[in-house]
Amino acid sequence: MTTHKLIILRHGESEWNKESKFCGWIDIPLSDKGKHEAMVAANLLNKYNLKPTLMYTSKLTRSIQTGNIILEKIDRLWCDTVKSWRLNERHYGSFQGVLKNVIFNQYGKEKFQYYRRNFNAVPPLAENDHCIDERYNNVDVPLYQLPKGESLKMVMNRLIPFFQHEIINQNLIHQNKTVLIVTHGSIVRSLIKFLGHISDDDISKINVPTGVPLVFELNDKGELIKDYYYLDEELAKKGIEKVSNEGIKASQKL
């Protein structure tokens, strides 16, 4: 039986990760540190001889930039690429653009964590659709069906059928492509939950660092044959801690 390696990556640090603002579907570019993280990720792919032949990104600049930096650095700019809104970050509704510590202070620690990490928590919906622009004109759903605020459960509903059918079955397994997915924190958490059969409660404890590649080894049925792993566990550990503390430390200093 063949082992299919799927490489998944959260984009490098964005300008709003740096400022600790909720970002969601707002199109914010990488910070300088984020660009550097993408280079480090590329070096890790080289080190472990991982050679993507197909890259997926979201429709958002921070994921596309990260992917392009990686492909250039590993001399594979020729790689086929697909951009899909289904790989966009969770839509954070009216929290988008607001500092995390402002929401923390408004709702308190428990509710803040609930909104960030509970599987079913839907943030207050966005009142306008200012992050929807022409990039979404020809997507596979009418514009009015695009989200205005999502729980992780809603993210999985728009993501998993596409992931399973197109990425796993068609490309990774039937065409035996080496797939790199460059996407966002909530998408990586959704894929960890789906592939690892993680419960709704347990997924709330999982955070994903920026810019550290994860590898999932799957069999011909698309099942995990061992636990997923980060290509640099130490780096991942530091990044995970940073993400889990976002909004909290700054608020406690206020």
Ligand X SMILES: O=C(O)[C@@H](CO)OP(=O)(O)O
Nearest distance, CB of residue 191 and ligand X, angstroms:
15
> Which residue, 74 or 191, has its beta carbon nearer to ligand X?
191
Q: Is 42 in the site for ligand X (CB under 6 A)?
A: no
Amino acid at 24: G
Is residue 166 annotated as involved in ligand binding?
A: no
Is residue 15 annotated as involved in ligand binding?
A: yes
Q: Please report, as residue ranges, which positions from 127 to 156 form the binding site for ligand X (by CB under 6 A).
A: none
One character per residue 105-124, x = contact with ligand X (rule: CB under 6 A): -----------x--------
Residues 6+ apart with CB under 8 A from 35: 12, 65, 69
Is residue 16 annotated as involved in ligand binding?
A: yes
Q: Is 22 in the site for ligand X (CB under 6 A)?
A: yes
Q: Which stretch binds ligand X (CB under 6 A): 17-25, 135-143, 224-232, 233-241?
A: 17-25
**Stated length of the chain:** 254
What is the rounded CA–CA span in Å between residue 250 and residue 240?
17
Is residue 12 annotated as involved in ligand binding?
A: yes
216: helix, coil or strand? strand
Edge-to-edge strands, sheet with 54-57: 80-83, 54-57, 179-183, 4-10, 214-218, 229-230
> Which residue, 101 or 171, has its beta carbon nearer to ligand X?
101
Q: What is the DSSP string of 160-192?
A: HHHIIIIIIIIIIIIS---EEEEE-HHHHHHHH
Of the candidates 4, 37, 89, 184, the residue annotated as catalytic is 89
Q: Is 92 in the site for ligand X (CB under 6 A)?
A: yes
* Site of interaction with ligand X (CB under 6 A): 17, 22-24, 89, 92, 116, 185-186, 243, 246
